[in-house]
Structure 1
Amino acid sequence: MNEKYERQMKKGVLDMLVLRLLKSEAKYGYQIIQEMKTKSEETFLLKDGTLYPILYRLEDDKLVVSKWSEADGKQVPRKYYEITEAGEKTLDEIEAVWKRISDGISKIMEG
């Protein structure tokens, strides 16, 4: 498949996937990248330069909040991102739209 089309298709769902990963617990950036890679069976291999603008935008939109962890011995402080109540509501709405789109695509692909 042409990489341009694959990249464009993935780009459209990244906000939803990041919010979904944050729904269970607060996570730091590298943790999100690794979990996205593992859970998607390497379909989504995010780079810092892709993830952090998404997180900053979600934070600007009040869908996530961030907080720094305190240094604990040798562990360096990390910035954790947590989904807000507004983020959970938005995620529910996005997932409903995704289901409708996915169902529509499936019907077209079936012929």
Structure 2
Amino acid sequence: MAIQISSEILEGIVLAALQQADLYGYALTQQVQSIFDISESTIYPVLRRLKKEQYLTTYDQPYQGRNRRYYQITDLGQQRLASIKCDWQDFNKKVNQVLGDQDESRN
């Protein structure tokens, strides 16, 4: 059984990837899929939502006669990412208190 990724964590994953570099949708999807088992159709609604909430902006670049739409994290997106990271650290600490301590007590 696989653990499902919440929408907030998925937003954080996308924002963190875009913090490293501007990416077009397919490249971003490939990067995320190299780590997490998610479908390609999962990323695009996240990108639309993040753009609508002004956490991302877009710009187009020509590539082989077509335009690629690149996504870029905004200052507001940086703040959102910091908030998600903080929430994740708190959640992770609590999960480890429940799951991690049980494993350690067996040693």
Alignment TM-score, normalising by the size of structure 1: 0.82
* From 72, 76, 80, the counterpart of 1:90: 80
Greater per-residue strand proportion: 2
Structure 2 unaligned runs (5+)? 103-107
1:70 aligns with 2:56: no
Q: Which amino acid aligns with 1:35?
A: Q
Whole-Å separation in 1 of the counterparts to 2:12 and 2:69 = 20
Residue identity (%): 25
Alignment TM-score, normalising by the size of structure 2: 0.84
1:7-86 correspondence to structure 2 within 5 Å: 9-12=4-7, 13-38=9-34, 40=35, 44-71=36-63, 74-86=64-76
Whole-Å separation in 2 of the counterparts to 1:79 and 1:58 = 15
Superposed CA offset, 1:41-89 (max 9, x none): xxx2333321111000000000000111134xx3521000000000001
CA displacement at 1:25 relative to structure 2: 1.2
After superposition, the CA RMSD in angstroms is 1.5
Q: Which amino acid aligns with 1:21?
A: A
Question: What secondary structure is seen at the aligned counterpart in 2 of 1:10?
Answer: coil
Structure 1 unaligned runs (5+)? none
State the 4+ residue runs in structure 1 displaced beyond 3 angstroms: none
Aligned length: 100
Asked whether the equivalents of residues 22 and 81 of structure 1 are also in contact (C-alpha less than 8 Å), the reply is yes
